[in-house]
Amino acid sequence: MKKTAWFLLSFCFACTPKPKTPAVQVSIVNNNQSVKFTGLDNAIMGEINRDTASGVWKSLLPVYRMPKDTDLKDYQSVQPGIYRLKDSAIVFTPDTPFAKGQTYFMRFYQFGGNSTWDFISGKKKLRSVHYIDLPFK
């Protein structure tokens, strides 16, 4: 009887839907002058875009120049530039044009169940959250 109960319990947990993380995609636009991020939650993007705090997008979707030694990725400075919400996507245009042939990456933080506002308000730290680096050239 115990084995049957254990099997049913483990079966139920296996069937529980896993929280989906958005399928964020990166593409170069505007004649290689900007990068576009799609696949983010539209409701969250709209709320964040209404926030008047400067640097919100830079802290949530930072863009970095990829160093030759990729072990040094975590020590790179964030690329300065302008973030705009356009057609359910975020478009980042750097202050200085992207260098031809240079690889860059966007760090996408997977908040997984935590409120995005916890990170914006400083209750949680971004470095404590799992992330994916999305490279582009």
Q: pLDDT tens-digit profile of 55-77?
A: 778 878 899 999 999 999 999 99
Whole-number Cα distances in Å, 13 to 3, 17, 20: 15, 9, 16
Closest C-alpha among 29, 37, 59, 26 to residue 135: 26
Is residue 125 in some structural domain? yes
The answer to whether position 25 is within a domain reads yes
Task: Name the band, by pLDDT with cuts 50, 70 and 90, for residue 19.
Answer: very low
Confidence of residue 13 (pLDDT cuts 50, 70, 90): very low
Give the range with max mean pLDDT: 32-41, 71-80, 111-120.
71-80
Q: Which is nearest to 87 in space by CA: 19, 31, 21, 34?
A: 34
65 domain-assigned:
yes
Q: Which residues contact 110 (CB under 8 A, 6 or more apart)?
A: 21, 129, 130, 131, 132
* Domains identified in the chain, total number: 1
Q: What is the DSSP string of 64-86?
A: EEPPSSGGGGGGPPBPPEEEEEE
- The pLDDT tens digits for 81-108 are 999 888 788 899 999 999 999 999 999 8
The C-alpha atoms of residue 109 and residue 126 are separated, in whole angstroms, by 7
Residue 68 CA to residue 5 CA, distance in Å, equals: 54
Task: Establish if 2 belongs to a structural domain.
Answer: no
Is residue 120 in a domain?
Answer: yes
Which residues form the domain of 59? Answer: 21-136
> Mapped to the 3 state alphabet, what secondary structure does 81-109 carry?
EEEEEECCEEEEEECCCCCCCCCEEEEEE
- Could you tell me if residue 14 is inside a domain? no
The CATH number assigned to the domain holding 118 equals 2.60.40
